[in-house]
Amino acid sequence: MSEPLSILFLNSAKSWGGNERWMCSAANGLAERGWDVHVAIRTDIFDNKFHKNVKIYKLSFSSELSISTYKDLAAIIKEHEIDILLPTKRKEYFIAGIIAKFLSLPVVFRLGITRTIAKHKFAERFVYKFLPSKILVNAKNIKDLLVSDKLSKDEKIIHIYNGYSFDDDFEPFYLDNTDKVFTFASAGRLAAQKGFDILLESINILKNENIDNFKILIAGDGSERDDYLSYIKNKDIKNVELIGEISNVRGFFACSNAVLIPSRNEGVPNTLFEAWSVKKAVIASDAAGIPEVIENKHNGLICKLNPQDLANSIKFALANPELISSWGLNGYNKLHRDFTIDKMLDRLEEELKKLV
């Protein structure tokens, strides 16, 4: 019987996000399928999130030039005879890429959002063009941009949509909605990438049109929180609430009528599938991979990334609640048909085995 393949994931994140969730899903799934799985991480955000067979190492990841990080990684690779390196963030791309060159190992960069790099940033462009054996992306749009920007060649890019394993049970989330108004939910880091500033501007447009028969709850935290709170106060917006970090996103979405995803930059966002998993339609921007997955006016509504178009989409949902509800069911069916964790792992295994 042949020895199982050995893979080392790298992630230096200090906060939880979609990239980290994907890594846990991939690492755990491969471990359950008999792979020898190792992960090198920086912080405690992954506590209790890995399969019992996943080996975990804490590294400093202080910088791309951290000598201790290189030494520790090289020791792990040699001791456990690692076959493949899979870095998941920009900092690890350089570290893993350099080590892979010295040790003649395949390295796969995992990229979950669109990435554009100015022509004059030679060092960054060098990393993408010359260090990876392959680049793994979760949206065809990301692949097309990498090729058109001459950061990679078509044959070096692996396109695999994210896969999710959701059972139908989730923790309930208490939501005070005694007035029974139409409720939109949204979740993500309070940062420019997620487009919540555009969402707030769209709500102000509706306020000026005397349309306020709805509420919007935004879950998450981040660098823009104070700016968003100031905007809400200055514009005297009454029907929006920032509720902070929550762990129970699916329960939160289940209490809403629809989910808003106003992102500027995405691959295929986790929140889209979390919304569908509880049979909620999404109103989402046309960023990156989103239009590849949503069938417009069938399981969601795609809008242009500007306040007026988003405001018009919210008005459409308010005027068509039964239609919106049916789109949520369509999304649920598509999720369970096309985006299962097993489909993702089948493709991931197939592509990784080609490298060894």
- Side-chain half-sphere exposure of 26, counting CA atoms within 13 A: 27
For position 267, what pLDDT does the model report?
A: 85
Residue 314 has pLDDT above 80, yes or no: yes
- Supply the DSSP symbol for 288: T
Beta bridge partners of 183: 215
Higher pLDDT, 248 or 315: 315
- Burial grade of 312 (CB within 10 A; 0-12, 13-18, 19 or more): middle
* Residues 215, 238 contacting (CB under 8 angstroms): no
Using one digit for the tens of pLDDT, what is the confidence trace for 252-305?
999 999 999 999 988 888 899 999 999 999 999 998 789 999 999 999 999 998
Residue 120 has pLDDT above 90, yes or no: no
For position 72, what pLDDT does the model report?
A: 94
* Rounded Cα distance, 29 and 342, in Å: 8
* Rounded Cα distance, 288 and 142, in Å: 7
Using one digit for the tens of pLDDT, what is the confidence trace for 81-118?
999 999 999 889 999 999 999 999 999 999 988 877 88
* Residues 126, 163 contacting (CB under 8 angstroms): no
Region 35-58: what's the mean pLDDT? 95
For position 288, what pLDDT does the model report?
A: 76
Residue 168 has pLDDT above 80, yes or no: no
User: 36 to each of 51, 280, 282, how far by Cα in Å?
Assistant: 12, 37, 38
Q: Which of 244-248, 306-310, 320-324 has the lowest mean pLDDT?
A: 244-248
Which tokens hold the place of 20?
A: 């980290």
- Indicate the average pLDDT of the chain: 93
Residue 2 has pLDDT above 70, yes or no: no
For position 177, what pLDDT does the model report?
A: 64
* Residues 261, 282 contacting (CB under 8 angstroms): yes
Where residue 34 falls (left for φ over 0; alpha for ψ -120 to 50; beta otherwise) is left
Beta bridge partners of 340: 164
Q: What is the 3-state secondary structure (H, E, C) of 17-48?
A: CHHHHHHHHHHHHHHHCCCEEEEEECCHHHCC
Q: What is the enclosing helix (H) or strand (E) of 328? A: helix 321-338
Largest Cα separation within the chain, whole Å, is: 70
Give all domains of the chain, ordered by start, each with its CATH number.
6-165+340-353 (3.40.50.2000), 182-338 (3.40.50.2000)
Global pTM value: 0.90
* Residues 283, 259 contacting (CB under 8 angstroms): yes
Region 186-204: what's the mean pLDDT? 95
| Strand-pair category, 282-285 with 300-303 | parallel
Residue 40 has pLDDT above 90, yes or no: yes
Strand order in the sheet with 157-159: 108-111, 134-137, 157-159
**Residue from 65, 43, 66 nearest 56 by CA:** 43
Region 6-34: what's the mean pLDDT? 94
Residue 352 has pLDDT above 70, yes or no: yes
pLDDT band at 1 (very low <50, low <70, confident <90, very high): very low
* Residues 315, 283 contacting (CB under 8 angstroms): no
